[in-house]
Amino acid sequence: MPREERRHYNTVRPHSALGYRSPREFLAITAPAMPAFHQSEDSSCMRP
């Protein structure tokens, strides 16, 4: 897929799975509502 086509598909084109919003619009709406996940370096609870 050419670069410009990929950019359009991934940022501008509406997607039905995102409520007919573009990925950029969907991210702008949902990102502020999602808490950032930060893990401290000394945390062992997430290590296998």
Asked if residue 24 belongs to a domain, the reply is yes
Asked if residue 37 belongs to a domain, the reply is no
CB 14 within 8 A of CB 22: yes
pLDDT tens, position by position, 6-26: 988 888 899 999 999 998 898
Report if pTM > 0.75.
no
Asked if residue 16 belongs to a domain, the reply is yes
Q: Please tell me the distance from the alpha carbon of residue 39 to that of residue 32, in angstroms, as a whole number.
A: 19
Question: 35: pLDDT confidence band, cut at 50, 70 and 90?
Answer: low
Asked if residue 9 belongs to a domain, the reply is yes
Give the residue numbers spanning the domain of 15: 3-31
Asked if residue 8 belongs to a domain, the reply is yes
Asked if residue 48 belongs to a domain, the reply is no
**What value does the mean pLDDT take over residues 23-37?**
78
